[in-house]
Chains A and B, each alone.
Chain A
Amino acid sequence: MTDTLPAAEVDAALRPPRSQWRDVWDQFKTHRGALVGFTVFATLLVAIVLGPWLWPKDPQFIEPDAVKMLRLRNLGPSLSYPFGTDQLGRDMLARMIAGGKVSIAVGLVAMAISVTLGTTIGVLAGYFKRLDGPLMRATDLFLALPLLPLLLVMVMLFRETLAGLMGPELGTFVLIVFAIGITSWMQSARIVRGEVLALKEREFVLAARSIGTPPRRLILRHILPNVMSPIMVAATLGIASAIITESALSFLGLGFPPDFPTWGRLLFEGVEYMQQFPARVIWPGLAISLTVLSVNYIGDGLRDALDPRIRGR
């Protein structure tokens, strides 16, 4: 005769263990601001991705008939043009959707470049003692550069060349994304270096090294997974600052070409008409601010959720 365990205990024993990401998500949910930010950002993303299907108007479409075009200019909000039209009679809602696609794409790609660069440099500087001095000197040097003026100069110098090579849209995109990426990696490099320096002295690294793990695998398998949380926080905040930088460049007229809307570009074009049509600057500005605000709140929540010292409580 065998003892039978109560059903509840069997269930508890058979249930798969809670994963780390489940815990992180549970903690993330308790941060109200982060949850609201997450919802807003997800809504914006969905609107931008599904927008072209739900609102199938061409953002570049200008009425070819001159008389009709003149009548369509600078309309207020109506059923057929919920956000009104611009000075050439183009639909503002379609332009906002198209602009959001570019702005968020720039934010994501620039963040990816900057975080990859920052992580690589941070890990190399933290892990290899020989590289620490020169790499950190270089980081300090980059931190001492006046970044916004240099970004403006870079865009001015290379815009035409790259536009000739890859076409105006792709060329500007690549240029802006790289320019933002290589001027914003320093913070994440510093954070990652600090983490790696601390991790390197831990027993599990010593254990891995003593069984003969080569440095490459030690970094990829043992160190990188452990520095993931600060990298993720830096990446989230990086999206926000990349979006702001891109819109600032566009706002100063050194961003994307005129017929290629981004939120910053729409704001820049709206400024000329803001006396008569203030809505023209409010919508793109609101979109930028909402995106950045929600991304910053997500970063805040992630920082708490990924910190195991806070998570347990």
Chain B
Amino acid sequence: MLTYTIRRLMLAIPTLFFISLIIFLLLDLAPGDPMSQVPLTVPPEVKAKMREALGADQPMVVRYALWLKQFFVVEPSHILDNLLGTDLAQGSQRILSWQSRSPVADTIAERLPQTLTVIGSSYLIGVLIALPIGIYSAYRQYSWFDQLGTFIAMIGFSVPTFFTGVLLIVIFSVNLHWFPSIYDTTLKVTDLASFGRQVRQMAMPVAVLSLYNAAQISRYMRSSMLDNLTQDYVRTARAKGLTERVVVLKHVLRNSLIPVVTVIALGIPTIFAGAIITEQVFKVNGLGALLINAIYANDIPMVQTLTFIFAVLIVLFNLVADIVYGMLDPRIRYD
């Protein structure tokens, strides 16, 4: 198991390098210019100096190496410095946003909590809804509950989140005035009243994303349960007189959860990308909104960093899913 993990980690490194190269090359072809936000009154020789200071006049290979060094060496050491109070970075050049001239990592750290609260809770709620639905639909296959579940799941992944989101806004905030249509990021949860406001503003984005996630996960749960319910060990368990409750909720459920857990792990990075749309609909000031604004403003370092972070998440959770699968399922032995 350990050797497998180490081998997979080693394999992840060239993958990440390759992805970083693709992202870098793609963005390097961009017509954007770091000086596009600088006022026209700044004389050209000053602009040339500024360009030099940003390293934008170097050949491509140098810039790629510089960016890699900044991403893998400089930024982590700055983060460590902030956390532990050490001085590893020694004032080295960080990745700067072309929009705000502040380090990209700081902006991302500011936006991360919003995304994590909204996305994290919606994924959690989605999973918590999906598992019981999947279990019961498989146990009573072709019952009205199963038919309804299938239909809702089909709607869940056919209706795009930007439409469900807009629909919820029209119904619940324009017509009924139950929930605010815009997510207020400045809201601090200090007492019960502000906690209530936070819950109310989170209700709609969380509902949209959980419907989407629950639709997919409940299908996986259902088919995994169906696979297991017909196995011989289930018949044995029933034959030796175990109660139905123990058979289904202990024997079958435990075995069916194995593939579902990996699916849940694999889904985590994709919800970050899915959140780009939901954040735009509800004006949540998170990572997705940051990416969209950076794309509109031609802020290449920000786009590069964010896209690469998404890629790292995907590679990381692929790895986690494989390892968890190996740990949970004794039939799978990688060594």
**What residues of chain A have their CB less than 8 Å away from a CB belonging to chain B?**
33, 140-141, 143-150, 152-154, 156-157, 160-161, 240, 244, 247-248, 251-254, 267, 271, 274-275, 278, 281-282, 285-286, 288-289, 292-293, 296-297, 300
Task: Give the docked Cα–Cα distance between A271 and B272 (Å).
Answer: 23
Partner of B19, one of A141, A161, A282: A141
> How many B residues are at the interface, by size bracket?
35 or more
Q: Which residues of B contact A286 (CB under 8 A)?
A: 163
Are B311 and A247 closer than 8 Å at their CB atoms? no
Are B277 and A274 closer than 8 Å at their CB atoms? no
Q: Which residues of A contact B167 (CB under 8 A)?
A: 281-282, 285
Task: Give the docked Cα–Cα distance between A278 and B166 (Å).
Answer: 9
Task: Give the docked Cα–Cα distance between A156 and B315 (Å).
Answer: 25
Are B276 and A148 closer than 8 Å at their CB atoms? yes
Are B314 and A144 closer than 8 Å at their CB atoms? yes
B193 adjacent to chain A (CB < 8 Å) = no
B62 adjacent to chain A (CB < 8 Å) = no
> B280-313 vs A: 1/0 string, CB under 8 Å?
1100000000011001101000010011001101
Q: Which residues of A contact B272 (CB under 8 A)?
A: 146
CB closest chain-B residue, reference A158:
B29
Q: Which residues of B contact A296 (CB under 8 A)?
A: 154, 157-158
Are A278 and B311 closer than 8 Å at their CB atoms? no
Name which of B22, B158, B272, B306 has the most chain A CB atoms within 10 A of its CB.
B158
Are A267 and B166 closer than 8 Å at their CB atoms? yes
Task: Give the docked Cα–Cα distance between A30 and B62 (Å).
Answer: 63
B328 adjacent to chain A (CB < 8 Å) = no
Are B163 and A267 closer than 8 Å at their CB atoms? yes
Are B310 and A149 closer than 8 Å at their CB atoms? yes
A235 CB, min distance to chain B CBs, angstroms:
17
CB closest chain-A residue, reference B22:
A145
Task: Give the docked Cα–Cα distance between A275 and B272 (Å).
Answer: 28
B76 adjacent to chain A (CB < 8 Å) = no
Q: Which residues of B contact A292 (CB under 8 A)?
A: 158-160
**Given that A149-B276, A157-B30 are known contacts, is A271 also in contact with B307, CB under 8 Å in the complex?**
no
Q: Which residues of B contact A154 (CB under 8 A)?
A: 26
Are A152 and B295 closer than 8 Å at their CB atoms? yes
